[in-house]
Each structure stands twice: as C-alpha cells, then as structure tokens.
Structure 1
Amino acid sequence: MSRPEEGRRPSRVRLLLALAAVALVALVAVFVLVRGDDDEPGGSPAATASSTPATVTEPSLGADAPGAQATPPAEASQAAVDDLPPRQAPVALDQPAAAGDGVTATVASVEAINGFGQGRGNVSGPALRVTLTITNGTDDILDLGGVAVDLTHGTDAVPASPLDDRSHAPFSGSLEPGETAEGVYVFSVPPDDRGTVTVSVGHRAGAPFMVFTGSAG
C-alpha cells in the first residue's frame, strides 16, 4: 500500500516546472521589450540626437559667383534705355518745343561752317553751328548752368562731337521769369550726312528733353 506523500510528489514537481517555465517566458518578454525600445528612433536622447537631420543653409550666389545667372543682354539693353532721360515728341527745326513745365525753346538757326577746333581733342573741319533760345515761362528763376544740348545726324542718329569753336557760347547764368536767353553750340557734322539732324535740349536734370528734327543739308 503506497504512501499519500509519494502520490503527491510528481504533482509538485510538475507545478514547480510550470512556474519556472512561466517565469522564463516573462523574462524573455521583458528582454524583448527593452531591446525594442532601445531600437526605436526616440528610445533615448542619443538616438533622438542622431536621428534629427541638421539644417543646411544653401549659400546665396552673387552676380560674380560660379553658377550665378548673368543678366540677359536684352534685359541689360532695356535697363540702359530706361536710364535715358525722358524726351518730348520731336518737332520741326523751325517750330518751338515745350518741356511741359513752362519752359520753351526754339532753334533760331542752323548754319554750316568750317569749325575751328581749340584745345585738346578738338579737330577743325566741317561743322554745324546751332543757335538756340530758351524762354522761362515759370514763376521761378531758371538756372541755365544745367542746360544740356546734343545733336545727332543721319538716319542712324550718329552722335555729333561738340566743337569748341570760337563762336561757341553755351547757356550760362540764370534766367528771370518771362525772359529769353540765347546759346550757341557747334558740332562736327560731315557735309554728306546732314539730311536728318536732331537737336535735343534739356534745361534741368529730370526734365524732359525738348527735341527738334529736320534737314540741315
């Protein structure tokens, strides 16, 4: 006849083995979870720091830097045109022109002469002597020291070189309201290219040029 203790012994062994297996499974599960957290991008400060990409600022390219795109020639030409002073619509050589602010001008005469160059860079030769008048129709004194006069000739509007001839007498001084002043300008112009000449007169900076055009042949 067997003892009761001997019948219960195998059951205790199985129970202990089952508890040991459960504990082992729990330890493995905890180990896997801990390793999984360490592998996540935000699992630790070091992982977070290494996973955050650094912000890189692209260097700006200046006009002279390699790879910088230069201003197209067409845009450069347009910018040069935009920098030119404004001009009124041209009138005939024998007609008065208005600047639009009360100042008017006329071409009193255009004479063909044999210009005499004085000083360095002046070459004697065929020239046109242009006599101009300016009338101050404003209420203020007009400073004639800022008057600019130029002349082009031919269908290609070739700029004529000013000539410091003896008769050269540009505008100077000041002009009272209602008064008229006269100025004389000489330009070197070939005799065979006087079919079209254009005289431009600006009386102050920023004011539109008064323009005269016609034949001086």
Structure 2
Amino acid sequence: MSGTDERGGTAVQDRPAPAAPSSRRRLLLALAGVVLVALVAVFVLVRGDGDGPNGSPAATGSSTPATATEPSLGADEPGAQATPPAEDPQPAVDELPPSQAAVPLDRPAAAGDGVTATVASVEAIDGVGQGRGNVSGPALRVTVTITNGTDDDLDLGGVAVDLTHGTDAVPASPLDDPSQAPFSGALEPGETAEGVYVFSVPPDDRGTVTVSVGHRAGAPFMVFTGSAG
C-alpha cells in the first residue's frame, strides 16, 4: 500500500515479506542431511576396518588373536623326556663257530657230526715264501687227515686249518711254501684225505702250538694242542 510520509512526500510502497519454504523443500533438505551423515559414518567405519597407515590391516579390539602353536617338549626343558633316536640296525658280525675241547697233537678229534681229524705230523722246516707278502724263514709244516664218517660226500673246499703258537696264542702267518697241499675236491663217505699246510713260526716259540681244523662253515673246530719244539 502507498501513503504519504509525515513530511508531506509520497510514501514508499511496502515490499511483501519473503514466502516461507514449503514443506516439501524442508523434507528434501532433511533427507539430504540424513544421507550425508550416513555417508560420513560409512566412510569412518570403512577407514577404521581397512588398511592402517603403512598399508597393513589395522588391528581392532574385536579381532580374534592368532592361535599360537604350543612348543613340543624338548630335552632342554625341565621335566621333558627326549625321544630316543631310532637305532640303526647294526651290521652282522661274522662270529667264529664254537670249538671242541682241545686234544693232544697225537690224538684224533671229532667234530660231532661224523667227521674226524688227526694231526699226522708237525715238522720244522726252512720255509720258502712264494708270491707277494711271503717271507722265507723258519716254519712248521703241518699234515692233517680228515675222515668222512657221514653218509654224504664232504666238500673239502670249505676246510680251514689255523695255527697259533706260544702261551699268548699268537696267530701264525700261512706261508705259500712249495710243499703245501691244502684240502680240495670232495671226500666220499668212509674215505680219508690228507692236507699239508705251512706256517711261519719262530723256533723259540714252539713250546705250545695249537692247530684248529674246521671242515665246513658253522661246524665246530677240532682243536689239537701240544709242543712242537
């Protein structure tokens, strides 16, 4: 409306008051505020559960701690009993078969399975060594006889004759003398064979000599002992 001011001039027409925002606009603004708050909350949660400052996952109070592996008891811990290592199988050791009771040099001996043996003679000779490792010198030549009292042929290739000398039973070294003639071939039942063996033995150590005769693997040795001085 227009009017006249108090100084007689023309009154300025009053401007209409601005219209209040509608209810729909207020509703849109409220919704926008809610969405903004929700986005901020989601961003905060995602940032909190995501990578930490160095790019590694950040630890949270609700995360489950990793299960630690319990150390096994060792020999160094008190009260612990160490598990013994598995024992390696021991290699088989070749053992000499048992020996029969010794008999005098001039007596026969029996193996217990039908085979018997005798020491026919023990002779002192100057042995002649042949081949590498053989040294000529004082020696004893021993003649042994074997009789096959079994029902089967006896393989004489398995016969072993050994000699020791002195009170300490020092093993005598076999000598490849030309006069030696070891057992060989097969011996028929009831038959007797003879073998000759030469051993290096010092003349001053012949007071006690022991001759051992084994006719096959695993059979007891037939043993003869006496003086060859």
Same fold (TM over 0.5): yes
Q: Report whether the alignment pairs 1:93 with 2:105.
A: yes
Q: What SS class does the counterpart of residue 190 from structure 2 fall into?
A: coil
The aligned residue for residue 221 of structure 2 is 209
The aligned residue for residue 161 of structure 1 is 173
The aligned residue for residue 60 of structure 2 is none
Q: Report deviation, 1:206.
A: 0.5
Cα distance in 2 for partners of 1:55, 1:126 equals: 70
Pick aligned residue for 1:194 from 206, 217, 224: 206
Q: Report deviation, 1:85.
A: 1.5
Pick aligned residue for 1:136 from 142, 148, 167: 148
Give the gaps of 5 or more residues in structure 1. Answer: 1-45, 65-78
4+ residue segments displaced more than 2 Å: 52-64
Cα distance in 2 for partners of 1:62, 1:90 equals: 44
The aligned residue for residue 60 of structure 1 is 84
Q: 1:62 to 1:191 in 2, by over 3 A?
A: farther
1:111 alignment partner AA: E
TM-score (norm 1): 0.66
The aligned residue for residue 83 of structure 1 is 95
1:175 alignment partner AA: L
1:106 alignment partner AA: T
Cα distance in 2 for partners of 1:83, 1:146 equals: 16
Q: Report deviation, 1:59.
A: 4.5
Q: Report deviation, 1:84.
A: 2.4
- After superposition, the C-alpha distances for 1:118-149 in whole angstroms (9 at most, x for unaligned) are 00000000000000000000000000000001
The aligned residue for residue 42 of structure 1 is none
Q: What SS class does the counterpart of residue 204 from structure 2 fall into?
A: helix
RMSD across aligned C-alpha pairs, in angstroms? 2.6
- After superposition, the C-alpha distances for 1:54-83 in whole angstroms (9 at most, x for unaligned) are 76695532569xxxxxxxxxxxxxx98x92
Cα distance in 2 for partners of 1:100, 1:162 equals: 27
Cα distance in 2 for partners of 1:97, 1:105 equals: 5
Give the gaps of 5 or more residues in structure 2. Answer: 1-63, 75-81
TM-score (norm 2): 0.62
Q: Which has the higher helix share?
A: 1
Q: Report whether the alignment pairs 1:175 with 2:190.
A: no
Cα distance in 2 for partners of 1:191, 1:137 equals: 36
The aligned residue for residue 151 of structure 1 is 163
Count of residue pairs brought into register by the alignment:
156
- After superposition, the C-alpha distances for 1:80-125 in whole angstroms (9 at most, x for unaligned) are 8x92221000000000000000000000000000000000000000
